[in-house]
Each structure stands twice: as structure tokens, then as C-alpha cells.
Amino acid sequence: MSTVKARARSAPDTRLGRRRFIGSALAAAAGTIFPTCRVWADAGSTGAIPSPLAAIALSGQAISLSQSDVKDFRASLRGQLLLAGDDGYDQVRRLWNGAFDRHPALIARCAGAADVIQAVNFARSHEVLTAVHSGGHSISGQSSCDGGLMIDLSPMKGIRVDPVRKTANAQAGVLLGEFDRETQAFGLATTLGTASDTGIAGLTLGGGQGRLARKFGLSCDNLLSVDIVTADGKLLHASEQENADLFWAIRGGGGNFGVVTTFEYRLHPVGPKIFAGNRVYPLSQARSILQALREFCDGAPDEMTISASLTASAPGVPAGRYIAFEAVYCGVVSEGERLLAPLGKLGKPLFDDVSAKTYIAAQLGLSGASPAPLPPGLNVYVKSGFLRNLPDSLIDVSIQRFDAAPPWVDELGIGQLGGAMARVRPEATAYWNRLAQYEVILDGAWTDRSQEQQNLKEGRALWTAFEPFTEGYYVNTEPSADEKRLRATYGDNYPRLVQLKNKYDPKNLFRLNANIKPTVRS
């Protein structure tokens, strides 16, 4: 979890600008709804189908798909099936993280659950490598693949809010900012992430950390039910009462168990104004500020969340090295002001926008600032890990290593966890690391792809200083980790997750994720 969300910048550079942890009362039965799919008539024509179509199998071997099978697949969809060369193919295949420039053999742009069923059945019967693409933020790059099938849920934008029951149903293509705008029309919200262009689907399945997590729990803790297409092509409804084992697994287990088409969330009264913003100080104050924030966090109520960051591109100041933090208080604004007042002892900040603002504005972080936030398409490196505490030794290592880090490294963030999310038993959902009090994130980016190997080498070397302090990692931030790191992430839940993988996806069709490998023979 980090602090200053989508940093503003005055000129193109190689820094990340990642969206960090660092916008009425209606009739009782009212709700809001978006169209369930986009209109395809003006989306451009599709070209001829090669005979055969080259693809990549789940095994990694090259395979050929017959022209007739691909033609039948295309005809079965209400949405589009895009191949290389078709109008829109290049736009749809691209991810926010430009480090992953992948070219699927086929992209199924799903208009609804029926299309998802057709796509899963095609993938299974042809044993083709399969990626599931929802919002496309995809820091880990696993929502696309080379030579496989991308199941694209981004056209599925339906949202319905029930202000009486305080629930919302949202399809898998909905973005965080879209969801927030609909629920805030009723003065409601639920925990989601911290970047408005993040998809709710991948976010929720991996756990869903965000600015409200200490008060209301993770996104997955506020999940009431889902509709999910499993590897056998069945559309199941999963909740605490129905397919409860599957419901347990998808709350933190990522995309390992199927393709979720619809999410039902519990909502909470939030806003319209909360107390939130960022403060920036010279890097020379980093040690004293991090120690003071640690002390502050120890006594902070659930409504307060603090995220700090050693950063190379802080708001309102020239390029350089700084210590910054974001404070978010989701209760009464005057109480937030009172609680934060003791941090005035840190001195006058170089930049300060902590104030009363709408919840939507707080969720945007600095992405609405001028000049424009850093755009998608850069080559991004991210590593993360959970922390049980924040010792002085880690503070010292962080400052030393960040000050000497390569110029493409943008941030070392330390975000507060705990609160409501820590009061859920680790075995209650697949999300295990309930006792973590902080998360550390190292991130950076560059534009020149020729620098990739050198920068990856530098990033891995830098992370070795921090990993010994960590226990597991947030699966939404990285590609699939090695077995040791993955087991630390899922802890004692891991054996149960393997059993459920064996039950719902024994051939590991859904493997492009923090992958829980089945143990049954396929």
C-alpha cells in the first residue's frame, strides 16, 4: 500500500506515478443501472480467419486452431471475437503496465455471462492458454498472454445500487471510479482499491485493499455473492449459503477458480465529505517522520489510515527525494482534524492538501491534479510484502537503500493495515495475512524497453534488502511468485486452496495469476 496516488508531473520522465495508497436521497426502491454491454455495430469489422490459426496451448506448445472452429466460436458470441489485424485488436490487447506487450491469438470481448461460458468452453476443449482481462490495470501483466485466448470482460459495465438494502451488483468490467460514482449518488461506498482506473474484479478476487479497509474490511470481506463461470463451463452462484466452498476460495484466492461475471457488495454510509490528503517533507526528515507515523498508527482508530512513501516525484515540489504521507479519515471531518493535529509537530510540510473533500475526490488521490498524472503504458516494476511490524532497522534500511536507488526507482511505500480487516479470522476467507500491520511496496518505471533487463536486475537486487522483513505478499501487485513466497501468502489456507483447485480447475485452465497448482493428474 502506498501513498500519493497517480502523481502529477511537469514533463515526461521514467518514474512510475503509480496510483498510491498514496466524487442524494432517492426513492426507497430506487437504483441505478448502466447498460450491460456496449453496442458492437460501430466497433469496426472483423477480418478473415487464417486457416489454420496458430496459437499456444496450456502446455506451452504451439497448436493450430481450425478455421471452422474459430468461425463457430465467433458466431456463438453476442460480443466480438478479435484476431490480430482486426479493428480494435491492438487497443484491447494493451495493458496499463507497458512492460507486458502481449499478443493473444484471440480476444473474446464478452457482452455477458453467456459469452463467458462460450469462451471458457472453447478454451477448455482446445486446451488453449487463457488469460482473463477485466479492468486491464494488471500490474502483474497476467490479464493478457502471447498466442492464447484473452477473455475480455471490460465491456460488461452493468451496475445496480439498492440503497434500501445497501448493496450493489456490478459486472466484472466495472472500474473503481465508475463504481464509486454510482454508490456515492446514495451516500454509500464499499472498500475498493486506490486507483480509479483499477478494475473491481481482479482487485476483489485478490483481497481488495483500500482506503476504507481498516473501517469496513477488505473488498472481499464486503462481498455478498458472485456469479462465476468455472472451468467446466458452468455458471454458478456462490455465497455463504450456496457453493460456500467456492465462495470461500474466491475471497482472496484470485482468479484461480473461474471467471466471475457479477459481484454483489455490501455498502456502507460514507461521505459525502471525508478528511484526506497528502503532506510532503524533505527526505532528511524521513527517519523521524516514519517513527512518528508508526507511533500515531499504533493508537489510530479504524476510521484513520496512514500511508507513507519515500518518493522521487512528490506533488507540489521539484523532482527530488522526499518523504510523504497520505492521511484518510472516513468519519466526521472535525474529528479527523482533531486526531491529525498532533502530527503538526513534524513541522511545516513542503506540500499539504489534507482537507475536507468528497470521497470521490479522495479516491482520485492526485489523479485529478495539474499537470496530468502519469499515463499508462510505461514499463513497471513492483514488489510487495506484508509486515507484522515496522522496526527501526527496516526504517533505516529503507532510507539508505532508497537514497542510493537507481533513478528509475520511484517509490518505497509503507501502508498501514490492521483495523477491521485484522478482526476477520485468517481461515475465514482465502486471504490469509490478516495479522499484517503494514505493507511495503517498491515500485518504479521506465520508458526505454532496452533498459528492461538491467532495471529488472537492479530491482531484484534492491528488493533483497526488504524481503527478509516480509511474510507473504499482496497477490494483486506481482506475477506469480515462487512456491515458498506463495505459501507464505496463503499460509495455513494453502492446502484447502489446492483441494478446491483440484475440484474446480483440475487442469489449471486458469493459471495466469498467483497460481495455486492442482495436484490431481490431468
Tell me the average pLDDT across 371-389.
76
Tens of pLDDT, residues 133-178: 998 777 777 889 999 999 999 999 999 999 999 999 999 999 999 9
Asked whether residue 474 is domain-assigned, the answer is: no
pLDDT value, residue 137: 73
Asked whether residue 509 is domain-assigned, the answer is: no
257 and 328 in a common domain: no
290 and 208 in a common domain: no
Q: Tell me which DSSP letter residue 106 carries.
A: E
CATH number at residue 80: 3.30.43.10
| Residue whose grid cell is 506448445 | 61
Task: Give the end of a domain, one of 454, 469, 484.
Answer: 469
Q: What is the DSSP string of 469-516?
A: G--S--TTSSS---HHHHHHHHGGGHHHHHHHHHHH-TT-S--SSS--
**Distance from CA of residue 172 to its chain's centroid?**
13
Tens of pLDDT, residues 412-424: 999 999 999 999 9
319 and 443 in a common domain: yes
Percent of all residues in the chain with a pLDDT value above 90, rounded to a whole number: 77
464 and 390 in a common domain: yes
Tens of pLDDT, residues 46-79: 678 999 999 999 999 999 999 999 999 999 999 9
pLDDT value, residue 281: 97
Tens of pLDDT, residues 311-333: 998 888 998 999 999 999 999 99
pLDDT value, residue 394: 98
Task: Give the end of a domain, one of 269, 293, 320.
Answer: 269
Tell me the average pLDDT across 329-358.
96
What range defines the domain where residue 168 resides?
159-269
409 and 392 in a common domain: yes
340 and 448 in a common domain: yes
Tens of pLDDT, residues 485-504: 889 899 999 999 999 999 99
pLDDT value, residue 376: 64
279 and 264 in a common domain: no
The answer on pLDDT for 374 being more than 80 is no
Q: What are phi and psi of 323, to 5 degrees?
A: -115, 130
Q: Which three cell numbers stand for residue 317?
A: 515540489
262 and 277 in a common domain: no
416 and 387 in a common domain: yes
Residue 9: pLDDT band by 50, 70, 90 thresholds?
Answer: very low
pLDDT value, residue 195: 85
Q: Which three cell numbers stand for residue 109?
A: 470481448
Q: Judging by DSSP bridges, how do beta strands 223-229 and 159-162 pair with one another?
A: unpaired
Q: Judging by DSSP bridges, how do beta strands 149-152 and 130-133 pair with one another?
A: parallel
Average pLDDT, the chain: 88
Q: Tell me which DSSP letter residue 10 carries.
A: S
pLDDT value, residue 34: 38
384 and 322 in a common domain: yes
Picking from 86, 77, 103, 249, the residue whose alpha carbon sits closest to that of residue 155 is 77
Q: Identify which has the larger pLDDT, 361 or 101.
A: 361
Rounded Cα distance, 415 and 439, in Å: 5
Domain count, the chain: 3
88-92, 139-143, 451-455, 482-486: range with lowest mean pLDDT: 139-143
**Are the C-beta atoms of residues 14 and 407 closer than 8 Å to each other?**
yes
Rounded Cα distance, 163 and 32, in Å: 10
pLDDT value, residue 366: 57
